Structure 1
Amino acid sequence: MDNLLRKSALIWLGLGPLCLIILFPFAVMISTAVKPRAEVLAFPPHWLPSEIRLQNFADMWQAARFGPALANSLVVSIAATVLCLLVAIPAAYAMARMQFRGQRLFRQFLLVTQMLSPIVLVLGIFRLMSKMGLVDQLPALMLAYIAFNLAFAVWMLQAYFQTIPRELEEAATLDGATSLQRLRLVFLPLAAPAIGITSVFIFIYCWNEFVLAMTLLRSNEKYTLTMQIFSLVGGRYQVEWDHVMGATLVASVPVAIVFAMLQRYLVSGLTVGAVK
C-alpha cells in the first residue's frame, strides 16, 4: 500500500507542472471574462478580479450577437456529424466485410486524403460552392466538413468493424438477416464505442474550424462561433477582451458537454483496431 501511495505521489509530482501549464490559459480566460474592464489591461496585471462581474456575459451576448452564431454552429456541427456518420458507417462495413477490386488502393487513398489541409483546397472549394450557388449558405459549410471528415470516419470505423467476430455475422446470416439487417442489429450495437469517439472528433473539428467558415460565409447572420469571435478582434481599433474571453469561455461549453456525454466511449473508442 505504501509503495502504491509513493508511486502515485511521484506520478502526480511529475504531472503537476504539466497540469499547471495546460490549465494556465483557461485560468487567464476565466479571470479575464469576469473582470471589470478597467482591470483587464492594468499593469501590473491583476490575476484575480476585484469583483466577479457576471454582467460581462450578458453584455457580450448582446454586443457580439452570440445567440445566432451559437445556433449556426450547433446546426452545422450536429448536421455534419450525423450526415458524415450516415455515409461512413455503410462504407466502413463494406471495407471491413466485403471484398472488391481496388480495395487496398482505396484504403491508401483514404490515408492520403488525411494529409491534405483545408487551406490547400480552399480556392477549389470556394469555386465549387460558387458554381453551386452555395456561397454564404450553411449547407456549403456542412458539405465541406463532411468531405474533410469522411475519410477519417471510414478509417476509424472499419478498423473497429474488423475486430467484431465473423461468427456473429454468420449466425445472423443463418437466421435470414440481410446485409443491412446485420449492420443494424449486429454491428451498430457492438460498434457504439467507435461511433462515439468518431462523432466526438468530427463534432470538435466542425465546432472549431475557421478557414472554411471564413472563406464560405459572408453575412453576419450566417457566422459560426469561430467567425463571430474573430470579428470581436479582427479589424477593430479597440478590443474588448472581457467580451472576447467571455465568448470563448461560453463557446467551450458545448464541447465539454459532448465530452461528458460520451466519456464512457473515449477509452474504449481510442483503442479501436488495436486488438483483434
Structure 2
Amino acid sequence: MWLLSLLALVLAVAWAFPVYWMINSSMLGSATLESATPTFVPFGGSLNNFAQVLTPEFFSALTVSVSVTLLSVAVCLLFAFLASVAISRFRFRGRVSFIVTILLIQMLPAEGLFIAQYKMMSSLGLLSNVLGLSILYVAAVVPFTIWMLRGFVTGIPLELEEAAMVDGLSRTQAFMRITLPLLAPGLVASGVFAFLQCWNEFTVALVIMENNRTLPLWLRGFVQQSSTEAINWGQVMAASAIVAIPVIIFFVIVQGRMTSGLVAGAVKG
C-alpha cells in the first residue's frame, strides 16, 4: 500500500511541477531566467512581469474570451441536454442514425473545415465577431457533450420518474424534480469539458478572429517578437499564469457541485 501511496505522490509532484515552474518563472527577471543555473525559489522576485502584461490589449482579449466561452457553454449545454434526454428517454425514427452521426462528426479533422468555416463566416459578416466564433465552438463541442450527457441520463433509472408519477406528479414535474437534480453532476462535468475546449481553443480563433483576439491569440503575441528582440520569458510565464487563473477559479466554484446532485431528488420529501 505504501508503494502505491509513494507512486501517487510522485505522480502528483510531476503533475504539479510545471504549474509551479510557470508561477516561479513569472516572478523572475530575464537575466535570472536565462542563467545556466535554474532558480527553483523566487527569492527577491517581484510582480513586475504581471504589471507589464496587464495592458489594454489583455483586457480586450479577456472580454472576447469570456464572452465567447460563456455564450458557447450555455448554448452547448442547452442543446446537449435536450438531445441527450431525447435519445435516452424516447424511441423515434432516426434515433440510431442520429447517434451514429454524432460519433462520425467526432472523426472529422478540425483542420479540414477551416476553409469552409472561414467562407461561411465571411458570407454572414461574422468574421472577428464573438457570435461567429461562438457558433463554430458550439458546433465543435456539442456532439461530444451530447454523448457525455447521454451516459448520465441513461444511468438514471426510469423507474424513479415512474414512481413519482404514481405519487401524482406529471411527467414533466417528475423529470424536473427527480431526474434533473440527479443530472447535476453530468451537467457540471459536461460544462467543464465545454468550458476548457472553448477557453483554450486556438486554431479556429486564429482563422476567424482577424481583429478581435482571444486570450490564446493574445498569449501567442509574447513569443512572436521581431528577429532583433529577445523573448521576455518572464512576461510569457506571467501571461500564461493570468490565462490559467479563470480556469482555476472555475474549478474551485464547480468542484463542490460535481457530487452534490448525486442523490438529490431520489428521496421523496
Bin of the TM-score, shorter chain as denominator length? 0.7 to 0.9
| 2:267 alignment partner in structure 1 | none
Distance 2:181 2:9 in 1: 39
- Report the TM-score, using the length of structure 2 for normalisation: 0.88
Q: Helix, strand or coil: the match of 2:38?
A: coil
Q: Which residue of 1 aligns with 2:44?
A: 51
* Contact 2:161–2:171 under 8 Å retained in 1: no
Conserved in 1, the CA contact under 8 Å of 2:30 and 2:234? yes
Please give the secondary structure, in 2, of the residue aligned with 1:258: helix
User: Do 2:189 and 2:258's aligned partners in 1 also have CA atoms closer than 8 Å?
Assistant: yes
Contact 1:197 1:265 (8 Å CA) reproduced: no
* Letter matched to residue 82 of structure 1: A
Query: Paired residue for 2:182, among 184, 190, 207?
Result: 190
1:131-163 residue CA offsets vs partner (Å, 9 max, x unmatched)? 111011111111111001111111111221122
Q: 1:130 aligns with which of 122, 125, 132?
A: 122
Residue 272 of structure 1 corresponds to: none
Once the two structures are superposed, residues 72-113 of structure 1 have per-residue CA deviations (whole angstroms, 9 ceiling, x without a partner) of 211111111011111111111111111111211211111121
Residue of 196, 221, 224 corresponding to 2:214: 224
- 1:168 aligned onto 2:160: yes
Q: Measure the CA separation in 2 of the matches of 1:195 and 1:257.
A: 18
Aligned residue identity for 2:102: L
Amino acid paired to 2:13: L
The 8 Å contact of residues 85 and 153 in structure 2, kept in 1 or not, is answered as: yes
In structure 2, stretches of 5+ residues that fail to align are 262-269
How many equivalent residue pairs?
Answer: 259
Please tell me the residue identity of whatever aligns with 1:152.
F
| SS of structure 2 residue aligned to 1:99 | coil
1:25 aligns with 2:18: yes
Of stretches 109-118 and 204-213 in structure 1, the one that deviates more from structure 2 is 109-118
1:159/1:242 CA distance change after superposition, 3 Å:
same
Task: Give me the whole-angstrom Cα distance separating, in 2, the residues matched to 1:99 and 1:32.
Answer: 56
Match of 2:97?
A: 105
Which contiguous aligned blocks of 4+ residues in structure 1 show a shift greater than 6 angstroms? Answer: none
Tell whether the 8 Å contact from 2:61 to 2:215 is kept in structure 1 after alignment.
yes
Deviation at 1:176, TM superposition (A): 5.9
Partner residue of 1:13? 6
Does residue 1:61 correspond to 2:51, yes or no? Answer: no
Report SS of the residue matched to 1:261. Answer: helix
Name the SS of the counterpart of 1:65 in structure 2. Answer: helix
Query: Could you tell me how far apart the structure 2 residues matched to 1:29 and 1:117 are?
Result: 31
2:224 corresponds in structure 1 to 234
Offset of 1:50 from its aligned partner? 4.0
TM-score of the pair, normalised by structure 1: 0.86
Task: Identify which range, 35-44 or 141-150, moves more after superposition.
Answer: 35-44
Equivalent position SS for 2:155: coil
CA distance in 2, matches of 1:47, 1:262: 32
Q: Is the 8 A contact 1:137 1:217 kept in 2?
A: yes
Q: CA deviation at 1:34?
A: 0.2
Alpha-carbon deviations, 1:2-40, whole Å to 9, x = none?
Answer: xxxxx2x32232233323332232222112100023212
Contact 1:34 1:54 in 2 (8 A): yes
Q: Note the 1:72-151 alignment, pairs <5 A.
A: 72-151=64-143
Q: What is the CA RMSD across the aligned residues, in angstroms?
A: 2.3
* Amino-acid identity (%): 32
The one-letter code matched in structure 1 to 2:17 is: F
- Give the conservation status (yes or no) of the 8 Å contact 2:72–2:198: yes
Asked if residue 202 in structure 1 is aligned to residue 186 in structure 2, the reply is: no
